[in-house]
Amino acid sequence: MTLTSGRFIGHEQDRGIVQFSMQDGPKEVPCAISTSAMDDLERGPKARHNEREAQFTRLRDRIEAQAASKYRATEFEGTPPGIVLRSIDFRG
């Protein structure tokens, strides 16, 4: 099945990630992207804590496309299994 947009969950400053979800039909797929990956995608100054949701929204199409690619390749991590995106996932 094809993944579709889910919801923005939040920014965890201590872990340096933004959590979000995607949907595979009725199934919610947990996802996360490192804040350093988002900063690398924008190639600008590091975003502040209170700017992370707006940054995610600006980059959402690129982030979700990469999450869908990892989902199709069954590259899951963690418990429960989910998609984790890092800067390296956007190179090449």
pLDDT tens digits along 69-79: 999 999 999 88
| Domain extents in the chain | 4-90
2 pLDDT band, cuts 50/70/90, is confident
At 1, the pLDDT band (50, 70, 90 cuts) reads: low
pLDDT in tens, 18-30: 999 999 999 999 9
Architecture of domain 4-90: 2-Layer Sandwich (3.30)
Q: How confident is the model at residue 11 (pLDDT cuts 50, 70, 90)?
A: very high
Q: Judging by DSSP bridges, how do beta strands 27-34 and 83-85 pair with one another?
A: parallel
Q: Are 23 and 6 in contact (CB under 8 A)?
A: yes
| CB within 8 Å of 68: residues ≥ 6 apart | 2, 3, 22
- Residue 45, class by beta-carbon neighbours within 10 Å (0-12 exposed, 13-18 middle, 19+ buried)? exposed
